[in-house]
Chain A
């Protein structure tokens, strides 16, 4: 008896993992208009040549390559675009190479705007924004670092408190004036 042949029958479990066809109801043709209004450029000019993906420095790190995202936008697959992860360094290399004269990087920026407006900001954006509003910098300095600084004989704080408090006031003013605080949901007090 040789090895048992692998059966080419899809099991119930595998069937559940099968891809589901995209149906008409998922296609929201108004999505293109929303993207254009957000400054995403004309999505329709893309002819799917794949040049943007080829030059993209992060396209190897993501399943959803920039060309796929543009195609999804063209089809109006709003839910799919907004719910799947995409990575973009906003380096604008795709814009330099695009033969159709489109700007895929601007499309990504527009999508970011749409996501924040529709689904609210991602948690890390909220925490970073809070840090900026309260500390004047994106990342909080951990106790470990402060101890280390003390140990090797540096000033405990790497900045001058007087200037920092002024900078924080300025940042808060900008946030209020632009409505950023309300959009992200940061409580600035008063």
Chain B
């Protein structure tokens, strides 16, 4: 350790243009700092973080041979890394830096009292100098980065990220909870290419509606991608699997995945469907939102990929202990395997991408919008499934009550979104457009249908989307009515629905009759997002989606280093945006792992093993899981994994034996600051 007497400190004061200098008299602070014991020189600079400022800093450090540096500037959150890198370039250890925040703590908060602000800045600099003299050089530990990646969620975002990383040569584990890949996008398979078979003569045969604004069939666009992923040698797909436990840190996460049994041998099954024909059990198909029926051995929907059947454990007679082997007898390849069991798979990965996506909001307000109370009130996802040519109704939109084709359809926007009573009141961003898309699709199949859209605002931003809105009204003649429906009343006989709303632009209350009401529901985080977030120690925003590290500057990073987020897990977004974010996340992972070995910052806690009493308090209190117990000759002791430690210091204060110390924030260092603060002038 440097003795206090021969420490040489250089003080750099940043004026931050007028940001600091207009309140704090920087020259005055500089003059004061140069008088402090141990200070070799002090310098003012207009913009210290600019290339000019940094090069001046390096020059001065080299020239004067100072041993430690005090920077009086803005918050360390912004500038710490730049200055640490810079003094390292100048030949000092990156630890030998103290940052004094004279912008946020002086010029910003005391803008009306320049004299006092200057005095405070002087005091802060004095404290900084005093601490800088006690700093000791330290090296961060090397962390080996595992060259494997875990992608949680097999929707379009997860698949895209996995594919890009696999192409770059990383081994990717893709974990998906459902028995098929593709997520919500694959369920919106709306290929109307065959719609000439539909009763209403379509206007054109070339329209396909899956995604907006181009209206290309989502199945046709996602399937090649899914095929690439399924056949890629670098991708290990784990279907029907959930992440159970994650420990470790950036570069070295140890993950436990629970793979539930499929009861069908994936290698043997060819997806012919002979088994489902003979299966005696009939249930509602939850993947079609209950609009169709399935057997106990089933494919979620016809175009699901991979094309492998799955047995519903709850429904299968054989698995419930009865004598039945119909599917096994019908299968040429002996694919059904009733002895299949749960597996626990251990993975070691260097980085994690969370792409758990969304699920459609389920309207819960009975008697208000009448969902699940009136037969003919459906959600948009049910409509999507109906519009699927291979779906439950063969591409025709029908009323669930009598299977008749509706003549008048109302869409109700903002169900579950922009509502502070239900959630944080966020806008789901895509509902305006998927309503337009589906309204157009219905008009293509049944041009005579009357469609009214009840909306609060139309939020059609983005490339080509406003034009898409024009097309809906002008070419397809969809009526837009501004006003949020107050309630829906069912005509008991005809099962028609009366929608009562205010037409706010006319200042009149309307009560109009419809055959079918479609609720444009919002996007909510998929089930289990909160649990996964707490398992990964990620923050979630008030709306329940995973919070990115910085709203503007770090859109795919999370609060945990080495864990990235993309797609609707981060917030509602459309397919192109999900893809862009997935690729961004893949790039971030590639940049991180391309180094093979990373150096962790030396800001961490360490344990004096001889003082440790092995009480384990630090284990309970550490938010990052850094301390672990180890058995030594002198009993149970704690050990801190340096790469995991973030240097927050929680364990330091919790330790009853005073065995834990925070590197760079030892008692000596903090007391020297306090002493300087209390010293008389």
Chain A contact residues, CB within 8 Å of chain B: 45, 47-51, 53-55, 59-60, 65, 67-68, 97-101
Contacts and interface: CB of A to CB of B under 8 A. Distances in A.
Interface string B474-486: 0000000011111
Nearest to B503: A50
B302 interface: no
B420 A50 contact: no
A99 B420 CA distance: 6
A151 B86 CA distance: 106
A50 B483 contact: yes
Contacts of B456: 47-49
B420 A51 contact: no
A101 B420 contact: yes
A47 B484 CA distance: 11
A97 B369 CA distance: 11
B420 A54 contact: no
A100 B504 contact: no
Interface of B: 368, 414, 418-422, 425, 456-457, 482-487, 500-504, 507, 509
Contacts, number: 67
B421 A99 contact: yes
A60 B507 CA distance: 11
Given A99-B418, A100-B420, A50 B502 contact: yes
Given A47-B456, A50-B501, A99-B419, A65 B487 contact: no
A84 to B, nearest CB: 14
Contact of B507 (A49, A51, A54, A68): A68
A145 B482 CA distance: 52
A49 B483 contact: yes
A54 B483 contact: yes
A55 B419 contact: no
Given A49-B456, A51-B486, A97 B368 contact: yes
6 contacts: A47-B456, A50-B484, A54-B485, A98-B421, A99-B414, A99-B425
Contacts of A47: 418, 456-457
A48 B504 contact: yes
Contacts of A97: 368, 486
B22 to A, nearest CB: 32
B513 to A, nearest CB: 16
A49 B457 CA distance: 8
B504 A49 contact: yes
Given A51-B502, A99-B420, 4 more contacts: A49-B484, A50-B486, A54-B486, A67-B502
Contacts of A48: 456, 504
Contact of B502 (A53, A98, A100): A53
Given A50-B484, A99-B420, A59 B504 contact: no
Contacts of A59: 502, 509
B42 to A, nearest CB: 50
A110 B126 CA distance: 56
